[in-house]
Amino acid sequence: MELLSLNKSYFELQRLRYRPEALSFLETIRFLHILPTLHTPHASPECEEELKKTLPFLSSVPTVTLVKGDDSPSSPLRIGVLLSGGQAPGGHNVVIGLFEALKVFNKKTKIFGFIKGPLGLIQGVYKELDVATIYNYYNTGGFDMLSSSREKIHTENQKSSVLKTVKKLKLDGLLIIGGDNSNTDTAMLAEYFLSHNCKTVVIGVPKTIDGDLKNRWIETPLGFHTSCSTYSEMIGNLAKDTLSIRKYHHFIRLMGQSASYTTLECSLRTHPNIALISESLASEGKTLKEISFRIAEILWRRSQENKNYSIILIPEGLIQHVKDTKNLLIELNALIAQGELTPESIVNQLSSYSKQAFFNLPEEIQSQLLLARDSYGNVRVSKIAMEELLSTMVKEALKSFPDTVPFQPVTHFFGYESRAGFPSNFDANYAITLGIFSALFLVRGHTGYMVTVKGLAKEYSQWEGGGVPLFNMMHMEKRGSNHVAVIKTDDVDTSSTAFKKLSQTEEDRAYRDNYSFPGPLQFFGSEDLCDQRPLTLLTEWNQRHVRETGETV
């Protein structure tokens, strides 16, 4: 065993040496060209006209296809890159893929990394990237190579500062590695540059552990696989623990601001007794009280069989979906957006329905709702302890059952633990591919695209890189009190095979303990162990495959 470096573990040193198979795309990248192609329908046709008015330049960005052609290097370029928003495993590898591919096009190309993401871009704080710097982060998690921030780029001042930065640095292109909000900024910047006759190309790649930056072109966002694998290992461990000691009810909240993709994926992997899927509960019009009563009923029935333990998964975004608190949040966000209101006056201005919902919540949750804000000024759901709230409400609900149920809840929030984990082989390869194809779009001078990879369920060598106009992924959404153009995120579809698969097992999971123990992410060993894919991705891929070919898989 080699000596440990001062601050690197033996494992990290081994991971630094791993070279993703997807690096082989570097061999052909110079032969690829980007051609306009037939227009594909917009993802939200009902908003298309309004979007065109807001984003007149971006709306004319054509759909493209990649074609093989002559070897075509480029002149030396100056390219900027930033990591934006919440960490997602694989971010560093996108930078490495970008770097490697730009050098394949021209060794003299210079790459600048903005420090603290959008903040660095606004303030013009950056460092030039070289091999020695970036290789130190090969296959590592986190965003510490450059650091990140959630600074929004939406005011005229912010946009003109960014324009100044790119002009000062003479940038030919800019890559933003981000989630839906960051890529909304990518789109806004592309529009702004086009409208100011600035030739700098702006493109984005999709990363978020939330799994919701997903549509007909993005099969799954970068980081989701690693993040769910990390949570699933922890859930499996808790299931084993509770099965051994048989006395705790584990209420586990999983990160994911709005959609329940993380809960769906982790549930398919671990088979918890109860998996709350916000989208399904919302469509049934359930209130928090009804949900708590349903959980209590299951726990009471388990108790009849002497099973006073359970695993309960709760999506972070639940509060935004259920009937009573959904309206409350919408009203709170609109009031908060007015600015200077005190917490008391915010509460006083709530409708009577929302006021009642607000005062039904424990005081601690009330103050979390009033004080925690995200970068839009909206209520920050990651700071709301839904697991505590539900366990308290379930305790209350259990009182209405005939027998006393021994109830020892243990609450958990699995959030930040997964965001900076070592990317799985899948995410490491996905990130490299995104970086390589980003270089292609930057070199060929195509602005306003999200870089995508198709065929992620297949072997790495069969993946297909490409790009989709950001405009096609946008829709109009209410944020605070305004309707704004944003990249659309995806909610769990309750008619999807993945969701149906989970709900089919509902009874079985609730009363039999069919837990599955995924164990830790594997990095070294056989392919079927180390190169797994998200189960939701595989299920959707199978569904599509069956639909398109009529074959069963």
- Supply the residues annotated as catalytic: 210
Length of the chain: 553
Residue whose CB is less far from ligand FBP, 444 or 475: 475
- What angle is formed at CA 204 by the lines to CA 199 and CA 208, rounded to 5 degrees? 160
Contact 496, 547 (CB under 8 A): no
Q: Which of residues 314-343 bind ligand FBP (CB under 6 A)?
A: 316
Residue whose CB is less far from ligand FBP, 243 or 484: 484
Chain Cα centroid distance, residue 463: 21
For 489, the token pair is 């995120």
List, in sequence order, every residue forming a beta bridge with 467; answer none if it has no partner: 451
Smallest distance from ligand FBP to CB 210, Å: 5
Q: Which of residues 397-456 bind ligand FBP (CB under 6 A)?
A: 419
State how far the Cα of 112 lies from the Cα of 389, in Å rounded to an integer.
Answer: 45
3-state secondary structure 266-325: HHHHHCCCEECCHHHHHHCCCCHHHHHHHHHHHHHHHHHCCCCCEEEEEECCHHHHCHHH
Residue whose CB is less far from ligand FBP, 158 or 200: 158
For 171, the token pair is 């940038």
Smallest distance from ligand FBP to CB 294, Å: 25
Q: Binding of ligand FBP at residue 91 (CB under 6 A)?
A: no
Q: Which of residues 136-175 bind ligand FBP (CB under 6 A)?
A: 150
Q: Binding of ligand FBP at residue 220 (CB under 6 A)?
A: no
Residue whose CB is less far from ligand FBP, 221 or 435: 221
Smallest distance from ligand FBP to CB 489, Å: 9
Q: What is the largest CA-CA distance in the chain?
A: 78
Stretch that binds ligand FBP, among 69-77, 206-214, 298-306, 330-338 (CB under 6 A): 206-214
Smallest distance from ligand FBP to CB 87, Å: 7
Q: Binding of ligand FBP at residue 208 (CB under 6 A)?
A: yes
Residue whose CB is less far from ligand FBP, 211 or 409: 211
Torsion of CA 184, 212, 464, 134, to 10 degrees: 70
Residue whose CB is less far from ligand FBP, 181 or 242: 181
Q: Is 131 strand, coil or helix?
A: helix
Rule CB under 6 A: choose which of 20, 80, 85, 409 binds ligand FBP.
Answer: 85
Rule CB under 6 A: choose which of 209, 281, 346, 434 binds ligand FBP.
Answer: 209
Q: Tokens 């123990």 sit at which residue? A: 517
Q: Which of residues 372-391 bind ligand FBP (CB under 6 A)?
A: 381-382
Residue whose CB is less far from ligand FBP, 219 or 513: 219
Chain Cα centroid distance, residue 323: 24
Q: Residue type for 93, please?
A: N
Q: Is 234 strand, coil or helix?
A: helix
Stretch that binds ligand FBP, among 2-10, 98-106, 255-263, 432-440 (CB under 6 A): 255-263
Stretch that binds ligand FBP, among 45-53, 89-97, 109-117, 205-213 (CB under 6 A): 205-213
Smallest distance from ligand FBP to CB 83, Å: 10
Site size for ligand FBP, by CB under 6 A? 15
Question: Crossing angle of helices 497-504/535-549, nearest 10°?
Answer: 120
Q: Tokens 């935004």 sit at which residue? A: 320
Q: Which of residues 176-195 bind ligand FBP (CB under 6 A)?
A: 179
Residue whose CB is less far from ligand FBP, 59 or 368: 368
Q: Binding of ligand FBP at residue 257 (CB under 6 A)?
A: yes
Smallest distance from ligand FBP to CB 257, Å: 4
Q: Tokens 């992620």 sit at which residue? A: 456
Rule CB under 6 A: choose which of 255, 365, 390, 440 binds ligand FBP.
Answer: 255
Contact 456, 463 (CB under 8 A): yes
Q: Is 387 strand, coil or helix?
A: helix
Stretch that binds ligand FBP, among 128-136, 253-261, 387-395, 461-469 (CB under 6 A): 253-261
Stretch that binds ligand FBP, among 249-257, 385-393, 507-515, 525-533 (CB under 6 A): 249-257
Rule CB under 6 A: choose which of 20, 113, 206, 256 binds ligand FBP.
Answer: 256
Q: Binding of ligand FBP at residue 118 (CB under 6 A)?
A: no
Residue whose CB is less far from ligand FBP, 179 or 466: 179
DSSP state of 58: G
List Cα–Cα distances, 350 to 138, 287, 310, in angstroms. Answer: 50, 18, 37
Rule CB under 6 A: choose which of 210, 279, 427, 490 binds ligand FBP.
Answer: 210
State how far the Cα of 488 lies from the Cα of 46, in Å rounded to an integer.
Answer: 13
**Which residues lie closer than 8 Å to 178 by C-beta, 6 or more apart?**
83, 84, 85, 117, 185, 186, 204, 205, 206, 207, 208
**Which residues lie closer than 8 Å to 332 by C-beta, 6 or more apart?**
346, 350, 354, 369, 370, 379
Smallest distance from ligand FBP to CB 237, Å: 21
For binding to ligand FBP (CB under 6 A), which residues are involved?
Answer: 85-86, 88, 150, 179, 208-210, 255-257, 316, 381-382, 419
